[in-house]
Amino acid sequence: MAYVISDDCIACGTCIDECPVGAISEGDKYSINPDMCTECGTCAEACPTEAIHPGA
Ligand code: SF4
Ligand code: SF4
């Protein structure tokens, strides 16, 4: 399953530059394209609010 971004996202923009495949999109809450995410976990480690988690 792709990683997902929760409502804890504060739209800081940190994760978008960390994703090696460009799967993250900007917004009021950032989002991850599940068809592109390779589940590498890099974005989750970079997020200051721990808003990114592996999908269930
Ligand atoms: S887990 Fe990896 S591939 Fe998926 S959105 Fe995060 S940085 Fe990108
Ligand atoms: S790093 Fe976390 S808080 Fe910042 S934009 Fe990404 S998901 Fe949102």
Q: In this predicted model, what pLDDT tens digit does every residue of 15-47 receive, in sequence order?
A: 999 999 999 999 999 999 999 999 999 999 999
pLDDT grade for 56, boundaries at 50, 70 and 90? confident
* CA neighbor of 46 nearest in space, from 22, 12, 23: 12
Tell me if 40 CB under 6 Å of ligand 2: no
Average pLDDT over residues 11-15: 98
Token pair in block for residue 34? 């599940």
Tell me if 23 CB under 6 Å of ligand 2: no
Tell me if 49 CB under 6 Å of ligand 2: yes
- DSSP per-residue codes, 38-53: ----HHHHH-TT--EE
Token pair in block for residue 51? 């808003």
Ligand 2, atom 2: nearest CA belongs to which residue?
Answer: 47
pTM for the predicted model, two decimal places: 0.95
State the pLDDT at residue 39.
97
Tell me if 27 CB under 6 Å of ligand 2: no
